[in-house]
Amino acid sequence: MGKEEAAPQTTRRTTRSSCANLLDCSNVVQNKSDSLKAPSISVDLLPEEPISLDNLLARFPGRRDQIFEILHLIGPSDSPMIPLLLYGGACTGKTSVILQVFRYLNRPFVYTSCRSCYCPRILFESVLDELLLHRREENSGYSSAKKCERFSDFVNFLRDALIQVIGKESQRKRVPEEAKQQGNGNMVYLIFDNMELFRDWDKNSTIIPMFFRLYDHLKMPEVGLIFISSCTPDTYYANTGFVEPLYVRFADYTEIELHQIFMRNQPNAKLYSSFLDVVLKPFFRITRRVDELSTALQPLFQKYCEPLSDLSMVPDENTKRRLFSHLKPHLSPALNQIFKVSPQTASNKEKVGKESKCRNYNRETPEELDFHMSVSAKYLLISSFLASRNPATLDAALFDSTGGSGSQKRKRKISETSIQKKDEAAQEQFLKGPGTFPLERLLAIYQCITSVAEDLPETEQLTELTGADDGVSGLMADVLLQLSTLCNANFISKSGSCPLEGSTRYRSLVNEEMALKVARSVNFPLWKYMYRR
C-alpha cells in the first residue's frame, strides 16, 4: 500500500499496555507511558509507525476475516462510518486487532478502556484528556477545575474538543485530495473498550444506551465510534429503540488457529511444533484463552527442551519421544493449575446467566453460544444437566469407567422388567421436573464424560494428564470453584441438605436447548446420554 513512506513519523506512543502481544518477545517490555508533549494535535493522535497489511495479517493468525471486515466497515478516511461494535470472549484479540488496524490505517484515534477507569466520570475525563492531550485549559470549555460528571456535559465537552482536533471547518478545506487518498483525511475515531464493565458501574443501565446513541448526540460525521465488549449485541440493544451499530464477532479460537498463533516468531519451528503437538490438545480442552495458554506453555517448553544441548536441532521421532517422556510428569500439575475459574469467567457471571436469545446476528449462527465459559465449566454444566434429567438408576448403564462406550452392550442385557421399572421412574422424574443430585454423582458423571470428550485417539489423555484417575482427583478443588461459579450464574441451584444423607444437593436449571448448545460448543454428543422414553 506504500503507506510506510507516506506516513508522518510520529512520536511512539503506547495506547494500551495490555495490548502488548504476549507472544512477541520484543513487545514484552513496553513503554507504558502515556504522557506526550508533541506539538500538533492531529499528529499526536496518530498511532505508532504504520505497518503494512501483510504485517497486520501476519500478526493475528485466525483473525483475517475480522480484519478485512473491520477495514471494510471503517471505510475511507474521508467518509463517515456507522458505529461499530467488536464483541467476543476474553483474549480473542479484539483490542490488539483494532489498535493494529489503526496502526495500519495510520489514522488519528483515541482509545479508552473501561478497565482502567472505575466510573463514568473517569472515563469521560480520560477521553477528553486524550483528545486534548492533557491541555485542558487551552481554548477549551473543559478545564481541570470542572468535573465532567454527567453524560450531557461529556457530550458538550466532547463536541468542543473534537471540533478543535478536527479543525472542523478550516481543515475540511485544507486537506489536499492526495492526502485524503493516502489515508490522512479528517476522520477521528473514538474507541471504547471493555464496555461490559459499564454494567457494573451503571446499575440502572441508563448510560449505556446513551453511549450507543453518542453518534446521534454528536452529529459529527467526522467522528467514527468503535465499541468493544465481551458481551453480545443483544445485551445492549434490547428494547432501546436506537439504531444498532454494525458488529464484528471475534469467535473463540479453534485448536488449529491457536497452533498458528503459538507458532509465530518461533526460532525453531519444527521443535516448537513437536511440542505443541503433544501439549495443545489437552490444554485446549480446558482453556482457549491465548493469555492462559501462553502462561502455561512457556515454562513447559523450557522443560521440554531441557534434555537438548542444541536448541536449533530438528527433532526426529526418537528425540520427540524422549522429550515427551521428560515433559510428561510436568503436564499434570500444569493442567491442574490452569483448570480453575478464570477471572474473566467469574467477572462475566451476569452475562453467563443469560440464555442466548437465538437472534441471528451478522454471520453468527443461532447454534452458537453467545457468552464465554471455560471448557471445564461447560462439561460441568452438561454433567449437571444429565444428573438432573436422567434417573440415577440409569447412570451405570449410560456411563462406565471409560465414559459410557460400553453402554450399548449393557443396555441390551437389561431385562424387560427392569426397563419397565426404569421407564416408570423416568416418567415420574420427568413429571417432577429437573431432579436434585448430590455432589458425588455430579463428579462421577463429570469424570466419565470428560474422558470420552471428542473423538481423540488418546481417549483418556485428559483424565490421565489431569490426574482425574486418582479417586476423587486433584481436580476436586477446581471443580468446586467451577461449580460455585455456575451456581452464582444460576445455571445450577443449590438446594437444602437432604435430611437422610445430610449433604447438599444440587439441581440443574438449564433447559435442553441450552444444554445441547453448550454440548455442541465442545463437540460432546449429549443426545447419546439423554434418557428418552
Which DSSP category does 392 fall into?
G
Exposure letters 30-56 (e unless 16+ CB within 10 A, then b): eeeeeeeeeeebbebbbbbebbeeeeb
Q: Quick check: 95 binds ligand ATP (CB under 6 A)?
A: yes
Angle made by CA atoms 486, 487, 493, in degrees to the nearest 5: 130
Q: How far is the CB of 510 from ligand ATP (least distance, A)?
A: 25
Question: Residue from 66, 77, 92, 482 that binds ligand ATP (CB under 6 A)?
Answer: 92
* Whole-angstrom distance, CA of residue 404 vs CA of residue 13: 56
In whole angstroms, the minimum distance from the beta carbon of 213 to ligand ATP comes to 23
State residue 113 phi and psi, 5-degree precision. Answer: -115, 135
Nearer to ligand ATP, 91 or 166 (CB): 91
Is there binding between residue 198 and ligand ATP (CB under 6 A)?
Answer: no
Instruction: Measure the CA dihedral 153/154/155/160, to 10°.
Output: 90
- Indicate which single residue of 10, 41, 51, 60 sits in contact with ligand ATP (rule: CB under 6 A): 60
Site string for ligand ATP, 258-297 (x = CB under 6 A): ---x----------------------------xx------
- In the region spanning residues 214 to 233, those forming contacts with ligand ATP, defined by CB under 6 A, are 230
CA distance 241 to 206: 13
Is residue 378 within 8 Å of residue 384, measured between CB atoms?
Answer: no
Report the residue from 84, 90, 210, 468 that binds ligand ATP according to the rule CB under 6 A: 90
Strands 246-250 and 223-229: unpaired
The piece of 60-68, 153-161, 173-181, 297-305 that touches ligand ATP (CB under 6 A) is 60-68
Residue in 399, 446, 397 with CA at minimum distance from that of residue 422: 397
Q: Which residue of the chain is nearest ligand ATP when measured via CB?
A: 93
CB of 21 to ligand ATP, least distance (A): 4
Distance CA 336, CA 334 (A): 5
CA distances from 434 to 231, 378, 391, 512 (A): 29, 18, 10, 11
- Please identify, using beta-carbon distances, which residue of 226 and 479 lies nearer to ligand ATP: 226
CB 64 → ligand ATP: shortest distance, Å? 9
Q: Are 456 and 522 in contact (CB under 8 A)?
A: no
Rounded least distance, CB 521 to ligand ATP, Å: 18
| Total binding residues toward ligand ATP, as defined by CB under 6 A | 21
**By C-beta, is 18 or 402 nearer to ligand ATP?**
18
Q: Does residue 186 touch ligand ATP according to CB under 6 A? A: no
Is residue 166 within 8 A of residue 200, CB to CB? The reply is no
Contact of 155 with 219, CB cutoff 8 Å: no
- The C-alpha atoms of residue 331 and residue 319 are separated, in whole angstroms, by 18
What nine digits make up the cell of 164? 478543535
Q: How far is the CB of 295 from ligand ATP (least distance, A)?
A: 11
Q: Which is nearer to ligand ATP, 165 or 258 (CB)?
A: 258
Position 75, amino acid = G
Task: Tell me which residues in 349-408 interact with ligand ATP (CB under 6 A).
Answer: none
Residues 8-47 that bind ligand ATP (CB under 6 A): 18-19, 21-23
Shortest Å distance, C-beta 62 to ligand ATP: 5
The correct pick among 96, 287, 383, 388 for binding ligand ATP (CB under 6 A) is: 96
| Residues contributing to the site for ligand ATP (CB under 6 A) | 18-19, 21-23, 60-63, 90-96, 194, 230, 261, 290-291
